[in-house]
């Protein structure tokens, strides 16, 4: 009986999601553009190197560089987005 009640309680508790503010949407858009431009740059640079140096498998190099960039930027980006969200929520409460 106890596990059944616990599952009912867990299903009834839902998180409340607020709408992102304009600043948050702008920061999401900026991050997407930066990652997209970096991905394109990571594809162009190995292609040029493959032509000049005769390197094979330039797409593997581009994929690895993009993956490393995303992993390296995950924590700082999360902190920045958290700060922006806290700033906007604090600004909403002070009005």
Query: Each residue of 34-85: pLDDT tens digit?
Result: 989 988 888 888 888 888 887 767 778 788 888 898 899 889 888 988 888 8
Q: Domain residues of the chain, as ranges? A: 21-94
Among 36, 41, 32, CA closest to 77: 32
Other beta carbons within 10 Å of 42: 21
Phi, psi of 18 (to 5 degrees): -90, 160
Q: 46 vs 31, 37, 83, 84, CA distance in Å?
A: 23, 15, 35, 35
Model pTM score: 0.63
Hey, what are 12's tokens? 């009834």
């Amino acid at each position: 009986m106890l596990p059944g009640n616990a599952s009912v309680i867990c299903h009834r508790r839902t998180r409340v999601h607020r709408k992102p503010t304009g600043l948050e949407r702008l920061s999401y858009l900026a991050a997407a553009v930066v990652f997209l431009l970096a991905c394109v740059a990571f594809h162009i640079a190995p292609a040029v190197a493959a032509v000049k140096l005769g390197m094979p498998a330039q797409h593997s190099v581009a994929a690895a560089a993009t993956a490393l960039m995303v992993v390296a930027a995950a924590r700082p980006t999360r902190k920045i987005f958290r700060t922006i969200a806290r700033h906007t929520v604090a600004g909403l409460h002070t009005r």
